[in-house]
Structure 1
Amino acid sequence: MVRNPGRRAALVDAAVEVLARDGARGLTFRAVDGAAGVPNGTASNYFVSRDDLLAQVAGQIHQRVAPDPEEVAAVMAAPPSRALVVELVEWINRRVAGDRTGYLAMLELRLEATRRPELQKELTRTIRAARDDDLRFHRESGLPGDATAVRLMYLAMTGLMLEQLTLPGVVPAEETQGLISALVDRAIGPEGAA
């Protein structure tokens, strides 16, 4: 197998683009080669199978959509409060809009995982670990709301993400800020609530 980490990363990034644009059925070595602007046959030199390519995308997509640690530090400079939780949830929503391709690819991976047990196992492990990290971050940051509240906000935001990425007219953009504030109120209570 060829060992050029830069080329491999470019092929995985191209696979994310193809997955978001064409879905899992459109994710072929030829399509990835075309999206990466490399000669036909290049992807097949880097990945032993389509399953291998999907596994690499599953591993990389979380790095792509992860927040920059400096941005997290800037947001977390504010004292823990309900308002900060609202800001964090709104920030997540802005990040989804800012990397529509990455999040669409993630949705496609989730759908493909329903048909591929190994992908489902790996994606479940990765997403569960990310969710556990989010719970730990919330607790260690002293933010209001317990683990159940964080899980409820995660599930609600996953649904909002799905609507905004696939059927944006269902939840108009101008309604999202109010819905997010209401979500936080219902999950952790309004500011000053015990």
Structure 2
Amino acid sequence: MVRTNPERRNALIDAAIEVLARDGARGLTFRAVDKEAGVPAGTASNYFPNRDELFVQAGHRFYERLQPSAETMDHLATGPRTRQTITELMTDTVARIMGFRTGYLALLELRLEATRRPELQAILTERVRADIEFNVRNHLDSGLPGDADSVLLLYLALNWLIVERLTLPEIFDDAEAARLIEAAVERAIPAM
């Protein structure tokens, strides 16, 4: 019987994210998730039919937890249409991801695991593609300067900056990361 208590389910998925970030995909077991969540043995297996479903749900939960705040979305809708606004939005995005370090590391683990699991690759491809399309559409609809390629270039540049900051944090300190975000925006978005 699969359980449906949404709070418990989310707690188990959050525990799966922590396990993925700490122990990698091979360490993601029902027992490890139960232990991380502090629940009785067998709880995770009551909520998820198999490990593959844990992988999928961890990927969904990462995106769910990283949704921009209402304030950020309001700034996107009502702020000035300048490169500086884009820099502020990109800085906010990087800060949100850095604030959920284990989530991004878990996502990297999921991406690596997806190279071995075609079903997971298909799901992640669909999810990431939808996220990219959402960001491009929001950018274009907002009237901010730059085009779809500008958004894609920022996506690619900032994702690798995030990987460096999370995996080798001594490469770029906070000040250098801030400077690089600003430089990426200046180079990707044409001056008006």
5+ residue gaps, structure 2, are: none
Instruction: Report what 1:19 is aligned to.
Output: 20
Instruction: Report what 1:40 is aligned to.
Output: 41
| 1:93 partner amino acid | V
Shift of 1:76: 4.3
**Distance in 2 separating the partners of 1:107 and 1:24:** 10
**Aligned sequence identity (%):** 53
1:69 aligns with 2:50: no
Instruction: Report what 1:107 is aligned to.
Output: 108
User: CA 1:75/1:148 → structure 2, altered by over 3 Å: closer, same or farther?
Assistant: closer
- The correspondence of residues 1-194 of structure 1 with structure 2, limited to 5 A, is 1-74=2-75, 76-190=77-191, 192=192
**Distance in 2 separating the partners of 1:103 and 1:38:** 24
**Distance in 1 separating the partners of 2:75 and 2:142:** 13
Name whichever of 71-80 and 115-124 sits farther off: 71-80
Shift of 1:108: 1.3
Shift of 1:32: 0.3
Contact 1:2 1:46 (8 Å CA) reproduced: yes
**Distance in 2 separating the partners of 1:72 and 1:10:** 27
Shift of 1:72: 2.0
**Distance in 1 separating the partners of 2:79 and 2:69:** 17
Name whichever of 27-36 and 171-180 sits farther off: 171-180
**Distance in 1 separating the partners of 2:158 and 2:75:** 22
Name whichever of 96-105 and 66-75 sits farther off: 66-75
Shift of 1:59: 1.8
Shift of 1:53: 1.2
Shift of 1:106: 1.3
Shift of 1:6: 2.0
| 1:54 partner amino acid | F
**Distance in 1 separating the partners of 2:146 and 2:175:** 26
| Superposed CA offset, 1:81-133 (max 9, x none) | 11101111111111122111211111111111111110010011001001000
Shift of 1:66: 1.6
**Distance in 2 separating the partners of 1:70 and 1:177:** 21
SS of residue paired to 2:78: coil
**Distance in 1 separating the partners of 2:14 and 2:30:** 13
Aligned-pair RMSD on alpha carbons? 1.4
TM-score, length basis structure 2: 0.94
**Distance in 2 separating the partners of 1:59 and 1:99:** 14
User: CA 1:133/1:9 → structure 2, altered by over 3 Å: closer, same or farther?
Assistant: same
**Distance in 2 separating the partners of 1:111 and 1:45:** 27
**Distance in 1 separating the partners of 2:89 and 2:65:** 18
Shift of 1:10: 1.2
TM-score, length basis structure 1: 0.93
